[in-house]
Amino acid sequence: MTNVRVAIVYHSGYGHTAKQAEGVKRGVESVEGAEALLMDIDEAQSRWDDLEQVEAIIFGSPTYMGSVSGPFKMFMDATSTTVFAKGFAWKDKIAAGFSNSASRSGDKLSSLIQIALFAAQHGMHWVNLGLPPANNSSTGSQEDLNRLGFFLGAGAQSNADEGPDVAPPAADLKTAEHLGRRVTITTIQFVRGRAA
Ligand SMILES: Cc1cc2nc3c(=O)[nH]c(=O)nc-3n(C[C@H](O)[C@H](O)[C@H](O)COP(=O)(O)O)c2cc1C
């Protein structure tokens, strides 16, 4: 059986969301029979053919001013002529999303909703995070997976005065890994089901 291919397409202005994307990649690669294609939005816009071949795409953007970043939106808009107008080329691929910002909320949910809607416009099937919200009780901690309590996708938080060498913290990188793994397992089930 051929490998399932999962692309991770992200923007990162200062390197923090790139760390989250690398976490997602580790999660994809933790599943036997899966291959990860990690690319930033600049590279992605020179690899439309590769993106047409993958079974799943996981999109990631930092949250800037309560929204996906400007460069990520440029990428989204570029898909209108390169993917959408080319005959709904991403229809029935699996999709998921992640976002990173300085504040614990930081309005990352807005970015995740934007990405989910973008995936829906392409006829893709959205996979959520699939983790209970954590760090919300007297026994919870900052070390918990999904410490930021997102459902729609993976959230990460990077202190504004820390570089990507230390931020986002390990719990958020593990949460990103979880998303990559979950999407990949779902994709394998989906592809095998379609073949049956
Ligand atoms: C233009 C701009 C707008 C930002 N807006 C937000 C915001 O709305 N919420 C937030 O929590 N952080 C905000 N931040 C902080 C970034 O989300 C944070 O620094 C993040 O780690 C940057 O990720 P990156 O290094 O991948 O670009 C903003 C940063 C910039 C540069």
Q: Does 70 sit in the ligand 1 pocket, CB within 6 Å?
A: no
Contact 115, 59 (CB under 8 A): yes
- Would you say residue 21 has pLDDT above 90? yes
Contact 188, 132 (CB under 8 A): no
Q: Which domains does the chain have, with CATH numbers?
A: 4-195 (3.40.50.360)
How large is the ipTM? 0.99
pLDDT at 135: 96
- Minimum-distance ligand 1 atom for the alpha carbon of 19: 26
Q: Does 163 sit in the ligand 1 pocket, CB within 6 Å?
A: no
User: How far does the centroid of ligand 1 lie from the alpha carbon of residue 52, in Å?
Assistant: 30
Contact 153, 99 (CB under 8 A): yes
Maximum pairwise Cα distance, the chain: 52
User: How far does the centroid of ligand 1 lie from the alpha carbon of residue 101, in Å?
Assistant: 5
Q: Does 169 sit in the ligand 1 pocket, CB within 6 Å?
A: no
User: How far does the centroid of ligand 1 lie from the alpha carbon of residue 117, in Å?
Assistant: 21
pLDDT, the chain, mean: 97
For the chain, give the percent of residues with pLDDT over 70: 99
User: How far does the centroid of ligand 1 lie from the alpha carbon of residue 146, in Å?
Assistant: 19
Nearest to 178 by CA among 114, 131, 136: 131
Burial 134-144, CB ≥16 within 10 A → b, else e: bbeeeeeeeeb
Q: Does 184 sit in the ligand 1 pocket, CB within 6 Å?
A: no
pLDDT digits (tens, 9 = 90+) for 24-73: 999 999 999 999 999 999 999 999 999 999 999 999 999 999 999 999 99
Q: Which amino acid is at 190?
A: F
- Minimum-distance ligand 1 atom for the alpha carbon of 104: 11
User: How far does the centroid of ligand 1 lie from the alpha carbon of residue 89, in Å?
Assistant: 31
- Would you say residue 1 has pLDDT above 80? no
